[in-house]
Structure 1
């Protein structure tokens, strides 16, 4: 029976993956370590920042602003500069990420309600951190201005803006990062394990033995893709348990939707891995091919930067990226109880990508054997 032949191939694939103790450790240990390390390290929050303040104002409001900056939990050290040269040197040598210069008439102007300036010098060699630090400093200065007599007099005519953060009211960064890591690490593991599959057979010389067996090409492809998908679903289950019970990320949506999307996502990833494996002649080439796909997939998925912010000519390329769609599903299921319409909207492209990549992998595998 055909299913007995596929079962034998699946068992053979599991034995090849799991008989080596080091191989077992690679499949389970590093993904868990990556989840815990990246959940804390991969963050866009800016904390423990070193800044410098040059206060040339002798009034009370200049001192009050200095005290508020020193009391902010975001800043690790606040160094007092003696002159503009010290500020320039600190920025040039990257000892501080930002410097604040308080003018000599700051207290007099702010007390009288007159326009006044605070000069904030940011280290533009870094990417997002200086802009975020500048936002922190702006919030501190704005709060100080509201507490002055002139600020209190104009408060009655002002408009208070009260932000309400839906789905993540306390802006806990791990609530955003951990679901994204579930999808990203599953991509890495599934792609590498699958990419090594056929390349390992070819390198060890066992591919010819596999081809003279009664297995058809479609059965070989099915037997090759099943173990990585089972391993991927097992790892995703571990990630979900860690997200809910360790990181305390709320799981507001349906597990059925999450696992349905994960199944289609892994099928698409495995299809890409089999395509790479069919091209590669050695395991080293397979690993290089996997990384050649992974890096653009990460950058074009919306993981770090929104897709809408990308150039218009680049955005259509993201439509063939399976990580893009699964990120929407996993984030939506965890944080906002994603409705079935949104799940289907992102599951259909995953299914199309899976069909396309698996068909291309089967076609290329058959051509390479002719």
Structure 2
């Protein structure tokens, strides 16, 4: 006997198939749920295969180890490290629980508990990780139901944007250590992320074509970044065939921790409220201010989602406003001259007439 019922804002289908009770979310409205019910009843009557399999008895932490391997092989290093952090918190809540027995209600309680400890954005990253884990678990036929489907993420405030003015850029470059200067110049002229810069290899830098090719970026997609003249001179000065890394220590290993050196430069330059990632924002912000399109900025930064690039839209709007105001100034001058000429044309015949009478 199959039935439908509502829990929260979702409708669920409850039926027995081959002696096993199955419950699954089917939609947000009753009509959709009724259609799913009718379809399931017909298919059961016809003894059709419903694509349902037995849940395997796998503990959350056991599956987490499998997911780690997947994440390490298929994601960028930064994303893998984010997964490791997320799962460390998820294990505290779901450790010792069978993957198939984790419910939507438990996940909602976890969401509320974590919100009392960290920001909405951090909770959302953990929920995204958990959701992907369940997606893979279903794909690999470990479970038959995904309890994260109806769990909504928190609304996040707009991302913080801090970018350096040209005066601040000059101050920063004047006060940074010699080994940091080319790293900062690269960030300011390419918008590359810190991990991309520190792991950059000479094989990805074409000084003839003046292009940097990012073969594995944050979104696992290749992108190319033009090298401008400032960056070209900088890279030419430090170019070497003795080491594969563009930026490296004396022993040839790449720099890892530059935070202390960068913060020291900021203190000497008297620049506050700034992180290395703000150089990424500085690159994009000045492009937007100069009037370049958001689509172009998106391509240069390697954003997969256009929504992320929209954070620079207000700067782009100011640039458009400035352009229109310049147009207003020029057209206003033309109109003023035309009006003056028109006034002279109307008065002049009258003067001639008077002159004739005189």
Could you tell me the TM-score, scaled by structure 2's length? 0.26
Relative contact order higher in (CA < 8 Å, ≥ 6 apart): 1
Return the structure number with greater helix share.
Answer: 1
The structure with the larger Rg is 2
TM-score, normalised relative to structure 1? 0.25
